[in-house]
């Protein structure tokens, strides 16, 4: 018998493919999109520029950016029969389930791209424009708000906020969301991007691949952690209560959502940037309590477990003061990450190799067949 291969549980540290899209240095806490440091992008770029960077491999010039914004604006209008499908979904459904179902349904109205090149990039743009419209349509109907207008003149961040809040965002709110969208846009082979690439690697289409990704993002160990992190901050309420509540959870071996990371061994650089936005938004709204509670939680978790915050710790403390409901946090992650998912799917189509690892079989092999009448 051959020597059993060493199983890397969770594929930890397995290098599964080559990519030109995103680089993470987990020891130095660096994140790079196509050569650009996330700190520069978060300080200087817009989400649309980052999406262009991810899809086309370079930052857009003035004309290219205006063209991309124009296309994204036009693509916000979705087919009427499709909108009726979203409106027919149960109003109490989870928005993440709605998003997954809607992306799958949208494929019925649009070309199924399975090739690299211009038509696939057009598909990436269609999906990136569609996600805010899907979320906005569903959210507005469940809240009894007026129907969503596509508003092509708005940036992606301003459109998302208008769709959810039914009002125009302030400059600060728009920039806060723009930065959050930039920070969530890509993250190498995270679970949802891997799911997208696995599906694409079978030569399945863009919509099926993104549907797989949304399913993977939903889990609380991945994108779902942001909703749990704000729930904890709300349960704690004031910084002086953090010690007892967090230590009790740790004593019960519960995970504190928004902490730890498979790749980062230091603080997630996205968390550092979003923490600053949590403070800025808190100051602007005259309510720093989320920021202050999370500061205390951060100290305790580091002191008790040596763990650092990840991006999911802070997104809710930026979104909640703006008025975004908790159950839209993970969908907002998808609204941004769809740009990265589609960039990875396009890369997969360019250098296609079916992703199909093997398992170390640990079950029996030579059982004798038992007729059904003799089975206990």
Interface map 174-213 toward ligand ACO (x if CB under 6 A): ----------------------------------------
| DSSP class of 24 | E
By the rule CB under 6 A, 260 interacts with ligand ACO:
yes
32 φ, ψ (degrees, to nearest 5):
-125, 130
Q: Which stretch binds ligand ACO (CB under 6 A): 35-43, 160-168, 198-206, 250-258?
A: 250-258
Examine the residue annotation and report whether 166 is marked as an active-site residue of this protein: no
Examine the residue annotation and report whether 253 is marked as an active-site residue of this protein: no
State which of residues 33, 138, 194, 259 lies at the interface with ligand ACO (CB under 6 A).
259
Q: How far apart are CA 282 and CA 140, in angstroms?
A: 26
Q: How far apart are CA 57 and CA 62, in angstroms?
A: 16
Examine the residue annotation and report whether 289 is marked as an active-site residue of this protein: no
Q: Half-sphere exposure of residue 7, counting CA atoms within 13 Å on the CB side?
A: 8
By the rule CB under 6 A, 247 interacts with ligand ACO:
no
Using CB atoms, what's the residue nearest to ligand ACO?
A: 260
Structure tokens at 280: 């800025």
By the rule CB under 6 A, 272 interacts with ligand ACO:
no
Structure tokens at 249: 């959870």
147: nearest Cα among 138, 155, 156: 138
233: nearest Cα among 308, 297, 325, 157: 297
By the rule CB under 6 A, 329 interacts with ligand ACO:
no
State which of residues 32, 256, 318, 338 lies at the interface with ligand ACO (CB under 6 A).
256
By the rule CB under 6 A, 223 interacts with ligand ACO:
yes
Interface map 297-316 toward ligand ACO (x if CB under 6 A): --------x-x--xxx----
Q: How far apart are CA 186 and CA 343, in angstroms?
A: 9
Cβ 307 vs Cβ 250: under 8 Å: no
Give the residue numbers marked as catalytic. Answer: 222, 261, 312
Q: Which residues bind ligand ACO (CB under 6 A)?
A: 10, 221-223, 225, 255-262, 305, 307, 310-312
């Amino acid at each position: 018998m051959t020597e059993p291969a060493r199983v890397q549980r969770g594929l930890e540290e397995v290098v599964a493919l080559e990519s030109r899209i995103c680089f993470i240095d987990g020891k130095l806490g660096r994140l790079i999109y196509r050569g650009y440091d996330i700190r520069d992008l978060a300080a200087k770029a817009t989400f649309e520029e980052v999406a262009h960077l991810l899809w086309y491999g370079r930052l857009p010039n003035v004309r290219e950016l205006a063209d991309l914004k124009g296309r994204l604006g036009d693509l916000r209008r979705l087919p009427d029969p499709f909108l009726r499908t979203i409106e027919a979904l149960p109003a109490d459904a989870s928005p993440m389930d709605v998003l997954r179902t809607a992306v799958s349904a949208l494929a019925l109205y649009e070309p199924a791209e399975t090739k690299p090149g211009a038509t696939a990039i057009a598909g990436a743009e269609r999906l990136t424009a569609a996600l805010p419209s899907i979320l906005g349509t569903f959210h507005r109907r469940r809240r009894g708000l007026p129907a969503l207008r596509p508003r092509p003149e708005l940036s992606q961040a301003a459109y998302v906020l208008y769709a959810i809040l039914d009002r125009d965002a302030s400059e600060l709110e728009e920039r806060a969301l723009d930065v959050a969208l930039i920070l969530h846009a890509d993250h190498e082979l995270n679970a949802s991007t891997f799911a997208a690439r696995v599906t694409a690697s079978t030569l399945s289409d863009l919509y099926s691949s993104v549907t797989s990704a949304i399913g993977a993002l939903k889990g609380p160990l991945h994108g779902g952690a942001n909703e749990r992190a704000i729930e904890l901050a709300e349960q704690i309420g004031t910084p002086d209560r953090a010690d007892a509540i967090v230590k009790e959870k740790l004593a019960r071996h519960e995970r504190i959502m928004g902490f730890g990371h498979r790749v980062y061994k230091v603080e997630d650089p996205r968390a550092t940037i979003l923490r600053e936005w949590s403070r800025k938004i808190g100051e602007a709204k005259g309510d720093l309590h989320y920021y202050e509670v999370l500061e205390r939680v951060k100290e305790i978790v580091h002191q008790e477990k040596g763990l650092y915050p990840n991006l999911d710790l802070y997104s809710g403390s930026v979104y909640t003061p703006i008025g975004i409901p908790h159950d839209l946090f993970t969908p907002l992650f998808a609204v941004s990450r769809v740009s990265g998912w589609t960039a990875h799917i396009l890369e997969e189509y360019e250098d296609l190799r079916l992703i199909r690892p093997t398992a170390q079989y640990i079950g029996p092999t030579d059982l004798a067949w038992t007729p059904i009448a003799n089975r206990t």
